[in-house]
Chains A and B, each alone.
Chain A
């Protein structure tokens, strides 16, 4: 046993909670310290921030107009970007040469190394646009330096109308990621209000609300959503449809939040420190805002983060089934609609895999992030 005893004689003891910096660390500092230990969650946070940045700056990042069609490049395959040309650093894509296979009656594309098309960063845009709705821009992050007719750069391929899948996925992130946020925001308002009433007043209000939640949760979600979505008039403008769809997907989301809030209310209101506040003469409203809300805020944030992916999936499911968002709105669900028939998938699998990968990555990251937040939500468990 001598070999494992070569430890330095005094290597200190356990985490010293009397360290001056920890001693004055408030709830959010401790929250962050605990969250930091969850490495996957931390990585997910980076991914999520990156994806939302991409969504916010979609116009700048997407090299092409997501709705620009090009009949020449129907179902064009992904083109790889090569960095070196003739031994020097000159990023380029090879021009696609299209041949018609008369046997299968399909267009076949082959890259032609003899015809390099230079690509680069900060290239002029085909049309001026406004970034974030108010910054007039004439530059794209990357693209063809000198676009000529017949040139193309489909890094994730093209769809049936020759639209750039990459640009479309980037633009789709705007709707798909924001629908989660907006939906969750609505869930938050509904959940905290209704759950708060249920937990605080108790009695009949509590029973009625809880039974109503059970009723809502017992309805199969997809048929419910489909039924509600079918009621949206076809003639409505896209923005209004978008709003109504978020409402529909958040209809289920609030129930779990309401329960969380109610449970926290019930367990906290008999805590000694809440009783102490009551004895200090604090009003019920004061207790709610000074003691109860700060106590479950972190739990709510964790629950909300875990609710976003289900919202994203709900939107995707609805749009895929054709009852959610409709073209010309671009969302990941709408993009998947393109991949509904087997011929498209067989001929152009990138139609399926690119939006699907975006969905999987964002949902997984949000779930990991939510797990990390939930673990950190009560930083006092291990500290006290």
Chain B
């Protein structure tokens, strides 16, 4: 076997299968790649493409009953010796010597991949103890050094803390410190930033990149986000249903993709880079007309004392889409739920102008008024699984609001069929249950339910964030089509600036319960006035490897409000 000196890990014709009741599920089907010293290989694909199983196969930690059927995974050690990991016993001593020491792994979920009952120091030190027998003072010193490397503030106190005292980003840093503990040659990162906010994601990507350079590691980075790929990858492996669709340098994948699937994947991301075409040619929304909904000084404080919504004022004009953008914990979801009085705000006013021209304050509306208004203002939920009752057929789910509004018999059936067609579902599927539908189709069911009563305003709470990238633009296009057909207004809540830019007319940026900036989308995106907006925008991964900017971004520090380069 001839191998380049720089190739640390060579995977050939890897096949990992899961035997199931009805046959064999080929999670990884004939995958080959190489990891080179100091280089990053990104494995990209949608959910279910087998990218995580590929990574787990390398360390032989595939969940039962899956197993490696064929192929080789050759690891070249520092001393020149090599070993085929695929042939090792998954519970044997040899593979355990490789795990953590030669090849380390970072997982997606920083909440569950760290133990809540051990201190940070003990968890990081464990690998040192197992592989090198380092204990006591020496161990503590090394852990402190590692914590410093991953830029955890005040490592001397952090080392004795528990994981639940840290935020998601900090936990992911701890995970990285654990992974680095034994100076591994290869780092496998399985969607390490998917559960994080976009600004935190940028920090973590930055950190991994820097550590890779200083340690000379090969990184296998698994992600579904083409933007992240463009920012960090040297080489890219595109996977679809267990098979490799395309493999090449990042430059080649993005600028000269050969495979149709790759092209589609990139296309769906690039499409979200600018405003939707249908929105470019739309006639202006009259500015002077009285707003559909005017929110004034809305405030909600949770019993825990958290000010989720803090003196928020905004307006929604008839026919427009107002985007609310912010990171997790910014209060945007709570604010959206206040609009429908799922939560009762403690102060402020929400003046809603009804179809007959009269206005009603939703904050003080009584039960019957609220019931009426809720026909006009509807909601689309984030979770396409949880928002549909699994025990009702799709027809029943869509018919429910109509039934409660008094629609009966034949006209009910007709209306349900019509709605299903409108959102792109076959009316013949009405007898099916939600479990028979994919995430995108379920979200369409949710949209059908929302528009059933011909509403005027729809609050869409992260309606696309649970969907794969390729489905996102489809869903947004559908929502805009319905907007034009039905004359809808949207309040579109999202953490994803690209989705906002694609679809929203105006945008309000929320930070810690307050609206820090609001305005026309073009203006906010191209010329942000507030530092937080700038930080948010500059942290978005840009799907062009020729124009990497995430490492050179703007950071927002509310205490100091200064800019810093990474």
Contacts and interface: CB of A to CB of B under 8 A. Distances in A.
Contacts of A18: 436
Contact of A273 (B15, B70, B374, B389): B389
A279 B342 contact: yes
Interface string A1-28: 1001101000111111110001111110
Nearest to A2: B70
Contacts of B22: 12, 14-16
A25 B404 contact: no
The binding surface of chain B is classed by DSSP as: mixed
A383 interface: yes
Contacts of A4: 69-70
A4 B400 CA distance: 53
Given A12-B23, A280-B404, A384-B434, 14 more contacts: A5-B70, A14-B20, A14-B22, A23-B432, A24-B393, A27-B391, A272-B383, A272-B387, A276-B379, A279-B342, A281-B375, A281-B401, A281-B404, A380-B390
A262 B381 CA distance: 25
Contacts of B78: none
A294 interface: yes
Nearest to B459: A279
Nearest to B375: A281
A1 B88 CA distance: 12
Contact of A15 (B20, B340, B404, B433): B20
A26 B18 contact: no
Interface in B258-284: none
A273 B20 contact: no
Interface in B426-455: 429, 431-436, 446, 449
B289 interface: no
Assign chain A's interface to a size class: 35 or more
Nearest to A30: B435
A291 B436 contact: no
A1 B26 CA distance: 17
B340 A23 contact: no
B435 A384 contact: yes
A272 B386 contact: yes
Interface in B370-411: 371, 374-375, 378-379, 381-383, 385-391, 393, 400-401, 404-405
Interface of B: 15, 17-18, 20-26, 69-70, 86-87, 340, 342, 371, 374-375, 378-379, 381-383, 385-391, 393, 400-401, 404-405, 429, 431-436, 446, 449
A279 B391 contact: no
B432 A279 contact: no
Q: Which of A22, A276, A294 has the most CB of B within 10 A?
A: A276
A384 B391 contact: no
Interface of A: 1, 4-5, 7, 11-18, 22-27, 30, 271-273, 275-282, 291, 294-295, 380, 383-384
Contact of B433 (A23, A276, A277): A23
Nearest to B449: A276
Contact of A384 (B21, B385, B446): B385
8 contacts: A4-B70, A12-B24, A14-B23, A24-B436, A275-B379, A281-B375, A281-B405, A384-B390
Nearest to A5: B70
9 nearest A-B residue pairs (beta carbon): A23-B436, A12-B23, A272-B387, A280-B401, A14-B25, A11-B23, A23-B432, A273-B389, A272-B386
Nearest to A7: B24
Contacts of A5: 15, 69-70
B342 A275 contact: yes
Given A23-B436, A273-B388, A279 B379 contact: yes
A17 B342 contact: no
Contacts of B15: 5
A273 B24 contact: no
A275 B70 CA distance: 49
Given A279-B378, A281-B404, A24 B24 contact: no
Contacts of B340: 279
A280 B69 CA distance: 51
Nearest to B26: A13
A280 B391 CA distance: 17
A301 to B, nearest CB: 14
A378 B318 CA distance: 43
Contacts of A279: 340, 342, 374, 378-379
A4 B21 CA distance: 19
A11 B393 CA distance: 31
Contact of A276 (B375, B381, B434): B381
